[in-house]
Chain A
Amino acid sequence: MPRYQATLLIELKDGILDPQGRAVEGVLKGLGHPVEEVRVGKVLEVVFQAENHLQAEEKAKAMGKLLTNPVMEVFALEALKELP
């Protein structure tokens, strides 16, 4: 079965205060970077097997949903590629 690598991006929802992002933002600003806003999220790279690209996409989205807390987070399937 083909192997796929999915890149899942998990972020806090818009409107939820992200103190970690604020701290990073403060440091960047302090170093003179003209930063407007920073928000910190998580990137998960998942390698798994699937029959085809379509099934791989379904599986990746199901895993993203499982690993996200919908109260405070949203996820996006950033990339999906077949591995050699």
Chain B
Amino acid sequence: MRWAIVRFPGSNCDEDARFAFAKVGLRAEYVWHTETSLKGFDGVFLPGGFSYGDYLRPGALAAKSPVMAEVARFAREGRPVIGVCNGFQVLTEAGLLPGALLANLNLHFTCKAVGVRVERTDLPFTRLYGKGQVLRLPIAHAEGRYYADPETLERLEGEGQVVFRYAPLHGEADYNPNGSLHDIAGITNEKGNVLGMMPHPERAVEEVLGGTDGLPLFLGLVQEVAR
């Protein structure tokens, strides 16, 4: 299985992503955002960073990149698409996931480890986690407050499209780091092949870097080939 890691001007988690893919033995190659074909790839990863310096809105200009037509095709065809942090912002701006990500309630760029509860384990991305398991994952963003109108939220909850939710790590009451509605940290599309999340699983694959709770997400993708 061959993964494309799309690089936009301003992406900065691209190397972390490739490191994580390599760690589980998956091939991953960088693809510049002006490419018009993702032929030969099986999955696509949109990394974190500050594409176009977050100008206009985070992810807004990247969402109009030439490569995004191919990412939309992948989404349509049921191939796995993952967007982390700025990648999640790009996916919502491109309309491949519902809702939007607004400025954190406290207006701070927040960089720390948070608790993230796994709500669904029937997806390729989460099959190696336990339902209800609380992961320790890093976040690093200024615009991560998930927002959607009440009808969309109801649909997301009804269809079980909320994959990750912020949760207390040590019983703390203020566990939601950005004011996301319904504590949403990550969602999927109706088909379950497009994942967007603000926490960084690719930055949690080495004990020395603070934990390995992100590793099962990538290991689950290895099984996707075998299936």
A interface residue numbers (CB < 8 A to B): 16-17, 19-20, 23, 42, 67, 69, 71-72
Contacts and interface: CB of A to CB of B under 8 A. Distances in A.
Given A69-B100, A71-B92, A17 B105 contact: yes
B100 A19 contact: no
B60 A69 contact: yes
B213 interface: no
Contacts, number: 30
Q: Which secondary structure dominates chain B's binding surface?
A: loop
23 contacts: A16-B147, A17-B102, A17-B105, A19-B103, A19-B104, A19-B105, A19-B106, A19-B107, A20-B103, A20-B107, A23-B107, A42-B56, A67-B56, A67-B60, A69-B57, A69-B60, A69-B93, A69-B100, A71-B92, A71-B99, A71-B148, A72-B100, A72-B147
A71 B103 contact: no
Interface string B186-204: 0000000000000000000
Contacts of A19: 103-107
Contacts of B92: 71
B174 interface: no
Interface in B52-81: 56-57, 60
A19 to B, nearest CB: 5
B172 interface: no
Interface residues of B, number: 18
Given A67-B56, A71-B92, 9 more contacts: A17-B105, A19-B103, A19-B105, A19-B106, A20-B107, A67-B60, A69-B100, A71-B100, A71-B148
Nearest to B56: A67
A42 B60 CA distance: 14
Interface string B137-158: 0000000000111000000000
A17 B178 CA distance: 12
Contacts of A16: 102, 147
Contacts of B57: 69
Nearest to B61: A67
A32 B47 CA distance: 45
A67 B61 CA distance: 9
A43 to B, nearest CB: 12
A69 B105 CA distance: 19
Contacts of A69: 57, 60, 93, 100
A42 B54 CA distance: 14
A71 B147 contact: yes
A17 B148 CA distance: 12
Contacts of A67: 56, 60
Contacts of B147: 16, 71-72
A16 B146 CA distance: 12
A72 B101 CA distance: 9
